[in-house]
């Protein structure tokens, strides 16, 4: 493989794996925020206790995914300087600011708000505590917006001029309102909500299939997940279709590649088939949920559980469709992949490719191992929001020191 092929493989693999963390983070955090809001403002003590336990259960799964995902994001930062120095030289003046804002929002603001939410249980007023989780959700989507502003410029450059071989920003408003970025942001938002909804519904269905005793907790979670995924999966297909006129207008080579079939057509078909399947199954589940049949019918509960990977697969297909389709351009019509490549030896690219991919696969394995472990243990094993000392700590406190 050439240096360019290795660099592309490395970035595609690591970005694709990182995206699996991101889409679950974006999809799960609004649901956790809704659950926390309902719990905080429920007057009935019994219902409030159940809803608070639900918030802590789903919140713990979110925190696990977020923490490991941050590690993958930090590693990705090294790839820009290592592999794509030509991109920074050409377009750094344009989307350097959006990328800097994304870093500040994701690694500072979002992490700070999340840390305060994690350690605020029993210490902050309910209004402040609920506000924090909504700020986490807001900063998560703001981070995604700035990333798509940068990516949108690479897909369809706007608001710039080229001087001495480098792009310079001339219209910041045009950059922020790039239709290619805005439609992609809407599409990703709906895809993330579909992913989060299917994740919550699938895990809740799994516990019902296992005849859980946490009936009230998982019934509420199941309803939330099914409603969100049904609505989001319906509109995600619509917003996806709205992008095709832009593709034909701004990226005629990609449009021709779609009509010619091959890789791109496979990615498009996978998104379409999976999206329609998820929408159909969640709609059926929503109808059955009205009479509590979904809770009692184990085959459908297991089907809902098996559906959890579907949105992830579709989202990766969408990412492949969006990125591969503009080849050989890195910045469409202005900068090719070959011109953007750093002057690094093929051997170094090969070593970094193996190391990065192995590291990302290990982090993904750790993430899903932890998630599966806590899902199986259920709400009783949740430590998020526990303000009392653990049992072994209380025992140690009662033992006199000699």
3-state class (DSSP) for residue 160: strand
> pLDDT band at 263, cuts 50/70/90?
confident
Q: HSE (CB half, 13 Å, CA atoms) of 288? A: 19
Residue 14's Cβ-count burial label (10 Å; 0-12, 13-18, 19+) is buried
CA distance 176 to 97: 11
In 242-369, the DSSP E strands lie at: 329-331, 335-336
| Average pLDDT score over the chain | 87
Q: Tell me: the pLDDT tens digits for 347-376?
A: 988 998 899 899 999 999 999 999 999 999
3-state class (DSSP) for residue 233: helix
> pLDDT band at 295, cuts 50/70/90?
low
What is the reported pLDDT for 399? 41
CA distance 287 to 372: 28
What is the reported pLDDT for 294? 65
What is the reported pLDDT for 344? 85
Q: Which residue is associated with the tokens 């660099």?
A: 7
What is the reported pLDDT for 262? 65
Q: Tell me: the pLDDT tens digits for 324-335?
A: 888 889 999 899
What is the reported pLDDT for 397? 40
CA distance 246 to 156: 9
Q: Tell me: the pLDDT tens digits for 229-260?
A: 999 998 998 998 888 888 888 888 888 877 76
Per-residue DSSP letter, 390:
P
What is the reported pLDDT for 95? 82
What is the reported pLDDT for 387? 62
Provide the whole-model pTM.
0.90
State yes or no: pLDDT of 147 exceeds 50: yes
For range 61-72, the mean pLDDT: 91
For range 97-111, the mean pLDDT: 80
> pLDDT band at 291, cuts 50/70/90?
low
Q: Tell me: the pLDDT tens digits for 168-194?
A: 999 999 999 999 999 999 999 999 999
State yes or no: pLDDT of 303 exceeds 90: no
Q: Which two tokens stand for residue 300?
A: 């459908």
Residue 149 backbone dihedrals phi, psi, to 5 degrees: -65, -45
């Amino acid at each position: 493989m050439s240096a360019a092929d290795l660099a592309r493989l490395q970035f595609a693999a690591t970005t694709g794996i990182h995206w699996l963390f991101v889409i679950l983070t974006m999809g799960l955090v609004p649901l956790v925020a809704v659950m926390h809001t309902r719990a905080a403002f429920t007057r009935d003590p019994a219902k409030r206790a159940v809803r608070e336990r639900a918030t802590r259960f789903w919140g713990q799964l979110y925190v696990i995914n977020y923490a490991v995902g941050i590690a993958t994001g930090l590693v990705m930062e090294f790839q820009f300087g290592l592999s794509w120095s030509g991109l920074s030289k050409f377009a750094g003046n344009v989307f350097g600011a959006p990328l800097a804002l994304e870093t500040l929002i994701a690694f500072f603001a979002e992490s700070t708000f999340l840390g305060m939410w994690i350690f605020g249980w029993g210490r902050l007023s309910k209004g402040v505590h609920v506000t924090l989780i909504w700020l986490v959700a807001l900063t998560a989507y703001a981070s995604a917006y700035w990333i798509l502003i940068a990516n949108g410029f690479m897909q369809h450059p706007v608001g710039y001029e080229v001087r001495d071989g480098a792009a310079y920003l001339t219209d910041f408003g045009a950059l922020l309102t790039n239709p290619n970025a805005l439609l992609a942001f809407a599409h990703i938002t709906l895809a993330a909500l579909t992913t989060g909804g299917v994740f919550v519904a699938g895990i809740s269905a799994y516990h019902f299939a296992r005849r859980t005793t946490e009936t009230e907790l998982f019934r509420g979670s199941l309803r939330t997940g099914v409603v969100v995924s049904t609505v989001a999966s319906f509109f995600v297909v619509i917003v996806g279709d709205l992008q095709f006129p832009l593709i034909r207008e701004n990226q005629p080579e990609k449009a021709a590649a779609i009509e010619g079939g091959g890789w791109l057509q496979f990615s498009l078909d996978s998104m379409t088939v999976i999206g329609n399947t998820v929408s159909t199954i969640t709609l059926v589940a929503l109808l059955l949920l009205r009479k509590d049949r979904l809770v009692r019918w184990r085959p459908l509960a297991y089907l809902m559980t098996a559906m959890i990977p579907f949105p992830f697969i579709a989202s990766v297909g969408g990412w492949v469709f969006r990125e591969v389709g503009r080849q050989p351009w890195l910045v469409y019509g202005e900068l090719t992949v070959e011109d953007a490549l750093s002057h690094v030896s093929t051997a170094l690219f090969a070593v970094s490719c193996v190391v990065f991919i192995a590291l990302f696969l290990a982090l993904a394995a750790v993430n899903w191992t932890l998630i599966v472990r806590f899902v199986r243990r259920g709400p009783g094993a949740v430590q998020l929001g526990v303000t009392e000392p653990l049992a072994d700590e209380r025992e140690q406190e009662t033992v006199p020191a000699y």
